[in-house]
Amino acid sequence: MMKRAKNASIKIIVPLISVLILSGVISCTVPTESVAMALEDFAKAFRTADIEALDRMLTDEYVHTNAGARPIDKQSWLRWMASRREELASGDYVVETYELEDLEIVLYGSVAVVTGIVHSSGTSKNQPFDNRIRITNVWVQDAGHWRRAAFHDAPAS
């Protein structure tokens, strides 16, 4: 009899806690390691211009803003990535280095704000480049996966 009452309590408590978390009444923090893994997966897909993987890792409402430019939406950014994939395939664009440095991840429940520096080097149309940009990303947890919702960059000093 006691065993049945205990199981009944669990059946009530677990859904109640889930509703409270989803409604934002209580928060549930996720280790920053899971966000860091999502960042690394995204960097790998970005290096190779894997459009399908990048599409899955972005929210539908994704906003991408480069310093000095107007914000663009997900579909516009993915079209840009498709042109980059063509440059990679032709050899016009060669990535030698693509590293995330000085990363800081701050969690707010199911939202992560990521800051850091992207260091990239290689050649573009046989001209060498070596860039460092400061980034701010917003990632959201959606259906158990971290997805990038926003990106902004500026020259790193």
Q: Where are the domains of the chain?
A: 29-155
Q: Which residues pair with 60 in a beta bridge?
A: none
Cβ partners under 8 Å of residue 51, min gap 6 = 78, 81, 82, 85
The CATH class of the 29-155 domain is alpha beta
Q: What is the mean pLDDT of residues 40-64?
A: 96
Is the pLDDT at 1 greater than 60? The verdict is no
Q: What is the pLDDT of residues 103-123, one digit of tens each?
A: 999 999 999 999 999 999 999
Residue-level pLDDT at 30: 57
What's the pLDDT tens digit per position in 68-88? 899 999 999 999 999 999 999
The Cα-based distances of 100 to 15, 55, 119, 131 in angstroms read: 39, 20, 6, 12
Query: For residue 124, what are its two tokens?
Result: 């573009």
> Token pair of 64, please?
């991408």
The two tokens of residue 53 are: 């993987």
Q: What is the pLDDT of residue 114?
A: 97
Q: At what angle do helices 32-48 and 74-90 cross, to 10 degrees?
A: 50
Q: For 86-107, write each residue's pLDDT tens digit.
A: 999 999 999 999 999 999 999 9
Cα separation values, 22 from 25, 31, 148, Å: 8, 18, 19
- Beta-bridged to residue 105, according to DSSP, are 114
Helix, strand, coil % (nearest 5) of the chain? Answer: 40, 45, 15
pLDDT of amino acid 157? 78
